[in-house]
Amino acid sequence: MIEMLVVLGIVLVASAIGLRIMQSVGRSQKTMSQQALLQMEARRAFDKAVEQIREGTDLVRPFLGETLPFLVFKDIVNRTTILYLEPNNPVSEKLNKRVYKLVAYRTDYSGAYDPANERVLLETVRGLTFTSLSPNGIQVNATVLHEQNEFQFLAHIGLMNLGGLE
């Protein structure tokens, strides 16, 4: 009888340990899944910004070596595009954190603001800086939010190379 009680106790302890491990794996899997979702959303939104920047041919601001929270560049047909942050108050209130939208505005020099030229690239940005590392390249450092998680990325983006065009 004593042997049965000892075996039963060992089985119960092993079962409790196994249950704890399974619960821990489940929580880790959920956290990793949320992180992967955040990274995918950030990457998709970042790709929109990369497309905009790669259309550029000339950096206007920041100057070489300068770091700014906005980016101004010209494209091949001499339109100016500005990437900047704008407060996203509804999301800020929901998350109880300061949150911004990444906005791209392209001007055709008509002299008037046209809301049709403005496009929101990303809704939940915590912070963003642009650093000019070369005349044809910009470094982007961004922190993106998803619910309560943050994802930070750093990327170097080259502008369109027009060296062979006349």
Give tens-digit pLDDT for 117-163: 899 988 888 999 999 998 889 999 988 887 667 888 888 998 886 65
Q: What is the pLDDT of residue 145?
A: 81
**pLDDT above 60: residue 32:** yes
Q: What is the pLDDT of residue 141?
A: 92
The span from the CA of 73 to the CA of 56, in Å, is 6
**pLDDT above 80: residue 110:** no
Hey, is 122 helix, strand or coil? strand
Side chain identity, residue 129: T
CA 36, distance to chain mean position in Å, is 12
Q: Is 116 exposed, middle or buried (0-12, 13-18, 19+ CB in 10 A)?
A: exposed
Position 166 confidence tier, pLDDT thresholds 50, 70, 90: very low
Strand 149-158 with 137-146, pairing: antiparallel
Q: Is 31 exposed, middle or buried (0-12, 13-18, 19+ CB in 10 A)?
A: exposed
Q: What is the pLDDT of residue 90?
A: 93
**Residue 156: which residues within 8 A CB-CB, separation 6 or more?**
133, 137, 138, 139, 140
CA 148, distance to chain mean position in Å, is 14
